[in-house]
Chains A and B, each alone.
Chain A
Amino acid sequence: MSPTVVALSIISAIVAIGSIAGFSARFYHKMDLEQWTVGGRGFGTILVWLLMAGEIYTAFTFLGASGWAYSRGGPVLYILGYGPLMYVVSYYILPEVWEAGRRHNLQTLGDFFQSRYGRTHLSSFVALVGMVFLLPYVQLQLTGLGIIVEVASYGAIHRTPAIIIAFALVAGFVFVSGIRGVAWASVVKDFLLLFAALFIGIAIPYIYFGGIGKMFAALAHAKPEHLVMPGATKNLGHSWYVSSVLMTALGFFMWPHNFAAAFTARSGKILRRNAIFMPLYGITMPLMMFVGLTAVLVVPNLSNGDLALLTIVRKSFPAWFLGVIGGGGALTAMVPAAIQILAAATLFSKNICRPVLAPRMTDRQVAALAKIMVLVLTSGALYLAIHSAVSLVSLLLMGYAGVAQFFPGIVLGLCSKKVSGAGVFAGIVCGVAVVAFLILTNRDPWLGLNPGFIGLCLNLAVVGVISSMRPARVGEANAFSATVA
């Protein structure tokens, strides 16, 4: 058998096992809207862990982190910086979010804004922004999947048909099983990725240099500037690091799917316990970076940094092993993509379509529309993935810059009654406008700062000024939650 056939058969087998784990979840639960989107609010520590961990190990971890270590060097450290900090943030805010969710029966990010501020135009706008900025994240997974199949087929399969096949599978998978199926498919994916990360993170530096320490010694000798910021870039220095780490740590749970994952927990305490231990799960991140750094000296001059990890795996191991790594990688792209598509589709049908276009829709119709949106959104991301060539990390940062703008509306809204819907609306508009302007005019970073961070600062200022000039009407927030002080 040719190496292409070996590698691709193993990848297909792994993807099949992961999908079966997901599909089988539906047989134990009746799938109504509540079950499909928030798993009936009955997940314990382990399932919540899996669902949230499903979001750490994505194609971004696997290919993006090693890719940036390879092409940018020092700035990749921002990933190690925000990793633990986002859980610190979640420790304090998610139990509050969960409490509000239980009290008001919330399923999505849009529901939260609707219930806290009582303004349909605000919640629909939030849902729209959330949906738009989820697209680059789904695109990231699709692009990653394309890279995996391209490298693992030794160039025999063009990535476009490969992406189409795999995403037909993802869409089908979301369709039938909903959030519970996704959580179970995560089990297979995380098991494989943990194994793969530990193994290649240690083995690859060992094969070429005799160990991680020796690899760093060689790199510190040959290219010392690559190991500190700004590395191979001109403008990703310390101010960029601080602004990106803050924006990402504050923005992580503002992702509609991560925010909604909080509602799947059985209690707020489960979320708090999870937040304590989750940072440990990110310990494989540096190993991925070690692989990327090894590749700097072993396979220099790759046209696309995101290819670094798989190229060096292909060079160092037999075809069957490339198949195992590729299969694990394919699941790490598919599972998060499924979670993200599910979140975007639910946002559309529940917070945009029903309140704005068709107020008389029943829950059953909302669920049906969400399933149609799964196909529409997947196709949208597919189109983007085929027609653009931005690095995986840049796609992620773009999405974060957008969703981080929800932070003031959620966190200030939980802390103070005075925060008004008008203020939050104006804040998000300003924040998103600044982000879009800076990114679209190639001012990223601007004055050495991350555009999302600049948008967030402006956003906070606007929310503060407008809410103090025109505080929320008496009674607007009272009904929301007893915990709003």
Chain B
Amino acid sequence: MKRPSVGAIVLGLIPFAAVCFSVSLWDRIHPIVFGLPFNFFWLILWTLITPLCMWASYVLDEPREGEVSRDQDGQS
């Protein structure tokens, strides 16, 4: 398995920026979204967006992997 590319690593840094370093921007009650205080809403939202970032990262590196795949598929 090859190392992740730079683009794939940048995609992984997006969730860190959104849920960790920017805390003082979103740690507040208002605006209330779907009945949730903004901080709860924001973190739940990123629980859903993070898999998308990682999936994008996977897809980005996937074509490079195809040629050297010694991986025997993973369904069990």
Residues of A within 8 A of B (CB): 43-47, 74, 77, 80-81, 83-85, 87-88, 91-92, 95, 99, 211-214, 216-217, 220, 224, 227-229, 238, 241-242, 245-246, 249, 266-270, 272-273, 275-277, 279-280, 282-283, 286, 289, 483
Contact = CB atoms under 8 A, between A and B. Distances in A.
Contacts of A241: 20, 23, 27
B1 A99 contact: yes
Contacts of A242: 20-21, 23
A91 to B, nearest CB: 5
B54 A88 contact: yes
A216 B37 contact: yes
23 contacts: A43-B76, A45-B74, A45-B75, A74-B27, A77-B27, A77-B39, A80-B40, A80-B47, A84-B15, A85-B19, A88-B53, A92-B4, A213-B35, A224-B29, A229-B23, A242-B23, A245-B20, A246-B20, A249-B20, A266-B74, A279-B54, A283-B44, A283-B47
A295 to B, nearest CB: 16
A279 B47 contact: yes
A91 B56 CA distance: 12
Contact of A227 (B15, B24, B29): B29
Nearest to B33: A213
Nearest to A278: B51
Contact of A276 (B27, B40, B51, B74): B51
Given A74-B27, A224-B29, A242-B21, A280 B47 contact: yes
Given A85-B19, A92-B12, 6 more contacts: A80-B44, A85-B15, A87-B54, A238-B23, A246-B20, A266-B74
A109 B49 CA distance: 31
Contact of B36 (A43, A88, A216): A216
Contacts of A273: 58, 74
A213 B31 CA distance: 13
Interface string B50-72: 11011101100000010000011
A260 B4 CA distance: 22
Given A45-B76, A269-B1, A85 B20 contact: yes
A343 B43 CA distance: 32
Contacts of A46: 75-76
A272 B23 CA distance: 28
B51 A277 contact: yes
A88 B15 contact: yes
Contacts of B58: 272-273, 276
B74 A227 contact: no
B16 A216 contact: no
Prevailing SS type, chain B contact patch: helix
A447 B74 CA distance: 46
Contacts of B6: none
Contacts of A227: 29, 37, 39-40
Contacts, number: 138
A391 B35 CA distance: 30
A241 B21 CA distance: 9
Contact of B43 (A44, A80, A213, A277): A80
Contacts of A228: 27-29, 37, 39
Contacts of B1: 95, 99, 267-269, 272
A269 B73 CA distance: 8
Contacts of A229: 23, 27
A91 B74 contact: no
Contacts of A246: 20
Nearest to A89: B12
A88 B58 CA distance: 12
B16 A85 contact: yes
A214 to B, nearest CB: 7
Contacts of A483: 3
Contacts of A84: 15, 19, 46-47, 50-51
A235 to B, nearest CB: 15
A211 B32 CA distance: 14
Contacts of A45: 74-76
A91 B19 CA distance: 17
B51 to A, nearest CB: 5
What 8 pairs across the A-B complex have the smallest Cβ distances?
A213-B35, A44-B76, A84-B50, A80-B43, A270-B74, A268-B1, A276-B54, A269-B71
Nearest to A280: B51
Nearest to A268: B1
A84 B53 CA distance: 11
A268 B73 CA distance: 10
Nearest to A92: B4
A227 B40 CA distance: 9
B27 A238 contact: yes
